[in-house]
């Protein structure tokens, strides 16, 4: 009975959670239908609500906004709108911060969350999977120098929370797993480890900046113990 119960749960839990998340998203997007005049809503001409129409409307609005923002006049209009919002107290603090984060995360030129890495956390004797967010600039480099990375360490299993760390480059090891694979690995608490997708002899990122590590590896390969 226990074996069959677990097998059934393994089938239903992913389906139920997937359906629940999709329903939340569809219900959220259906709120965009409130932007339409009442006579154009499905309740007025069908007598009942049709779920999912808000998804079509939301995608259409986003695509139309992107088309407008991609041309010269649209950029001028958005620049004017940004300048108006930046003059409003409280609003400029919220809007400015959110816009800066969204531009960093979703811009095609942005480098945030493009690479999964290993860092020592929470102490020097352990490692965890983190996401590379960039390299510190300006005031931080005045105190720590330029040989550092900024990383985000997601918590398990809630990856929307986590810790922001600044770590030396020679203590960061680059992973070839994708960001999606790294997030799945974190959410599953190490159960869903992605397969090796690179040559096992590939050097980690920190060996390029730590000559002692590289020399030690070469001495071991040649049969000489560096500790002797």
What is the pTM (predicted TM-score) of this model? 0.54
pLDDT at 214: 41
Per-residue model confidence as pLDDT tens digits over 113-160: 778 999 999 888 899 999 998 888 888 888 888 889 999 999 888 887
Please write the tens of the pLDDT for every residue from 177-208.
888 899 888 888 888 888 877 544 444 444 44
Residue that wins the pLDDT comparison between 108 and 49: 49
Predicted pLDDT of residue 130: 93
- Strand segments (E) across the chain: 115-120, 127-134, 148-154, 162-168, 172-174
pLDDT value, residue 110:
57
Query: Angle formed by the axes of helices 72-86 and 91-106, to 10°?
Result: 140
pLDDT > 90 fraction of the chain, expressed in percent and rounded: 14
Average pLDDT over all residues of the chain? 78
2: pLDDT strictly greater than 80? yes
Sequence-distant contacts of 141-150: CB under 8 A, at least 24 apart: 147/209, 149/117
């Amino acid at each position: 009975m226990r074996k069959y119960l677990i097998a059934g749960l393994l089938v239903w839990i992913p389906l139920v959670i997937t359906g629940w998340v999709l329903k939340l998203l569809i219900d959220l997007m259906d709120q965009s239908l409130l932007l339409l005049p009442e006579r154009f809503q499905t309740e007025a001409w069908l007598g009942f609500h049709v779920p999912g129409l808000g998804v079509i409307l939301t995608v259409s609005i986003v695509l139309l906004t992107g088309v407008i923002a991609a041309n010269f006049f649209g950029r001028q209009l958005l620049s004017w709108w940004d300048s108006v919002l930046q003059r409003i107290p409280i609003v400029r603090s919220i809007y400015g911060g959110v816009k800066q984060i969204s531009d960093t995360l979703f811009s095609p030129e942005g480098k945030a969350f493009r690479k999964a890495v290993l860092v020592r956390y929470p102490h020097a004797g352990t490692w965890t999977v983190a996401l590379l967010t960039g390299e510190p600039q300006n005031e931080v480099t005045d105190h720590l120098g330029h040989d550092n990375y900024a990383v985000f360490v997601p918590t398990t299993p809630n990856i929307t929370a986590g810790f922001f760390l600044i770590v030396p480059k020679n203590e960061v090891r680059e992973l070839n797993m994708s960001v999606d694979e790294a997030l799945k690995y974190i959410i599953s608490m190490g159960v869903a480890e992605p397969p090796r997708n690179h040559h096992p002899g590939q050097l980690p990122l920190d060996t390029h900046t730590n000559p002692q590590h590289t020399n030690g590896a070469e001495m071991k390969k040649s049969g000489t113990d560096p500790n002797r």
